[in-house]
Amino acid sequence: MKKILFFLVLLSPLLSLAQTFENTDDMEVVEDTAYHCSRIYPSGVGIISDLHGLERVCMTIYSDEDGQLSILLVAPDGTIIELSTNNGGTDDDYNYTCFTMNASTNITEGSAAFDGDYIPEGDLSLVNNFQNADGPWQLCIMDDNGSDASNVTLKDWKLVFSDNAP
């Protein structure tokens, strides 16, 4: 019995493997109504599906006016997921905001400054389509109102792949 328990303890990390990849380079988003994209290059993830796939996308964005931002995730195969578009009104910031289908509040029902977990506007599970996750993932942000001088900076973002994927 002790041998079986010991084996299960050794095997348990492999059964619920979570892999996190992060980009901590600041990226300024200028108000020119064009998307600015930051990239993460995961390795060792392999093929993703609903069994082991993308569970969450987290970010910190400093912004003068969240309601002017459009935020997209672009997977290596070109699948585009709308995370948030024009939410938050004139309030500021996404403070370690995570998008996951496991959240209880939709981003459209939240209020800035956004922090915690939110359901994105698009279906995050669409990227778990048996594509190879080992490639460039992009977080793309646009300041929709190019006529004013707002300040928008992506401070960091990360991808979490796990067995809790939608």
10-residue averages of pLDDT along the chain (166 residues): 44 64 93 88 96 96 88 98 92 92 94 91 97 97 72 94 90
**Residue of 50, 76, 67, 59 lying closest to 24 (CA atoms):** 59
Give this prediction's pTM.
Answer: 0.86
Measured in whole angstroms, the distance separating CA 87 from the mean position of its chain's CA atoms is: 16
pLDDT reported for residue 10: 42
Radius of gyration of the chain measured on its C-alpha atoms: 17
pLDDT reported for residue 14: 46
pLDDT reported for residue 11: 43
HSE value, Cβ hemisphere, 13 Å, CA-based, for 139: 30
Residue 113 preceded by cis peptide, ω within 30: yes
Instruction: In whole angstroms, give the CA distance from residue 26 to residue 31.
Output: 16
Instruction: In whole angstroms, give the CA distance from residue 2 to residue 59.
Output: 43
Q: Are strands 94-99 and 114-118 parallel, antiparallel or unpaired?
A: parallel
pLDDT reported for residue 131: 98
Say whether 118 sits in a helix, a strand or coil: strand
pLDDT reported for residue 75: 98
Instruction: In whole angstroms, give the CA distance from residue 50 to residue 45.
Output: 14
Instruction: In whole angstroms, give the CA distance from residue 166 to residue 51.
Output: 8
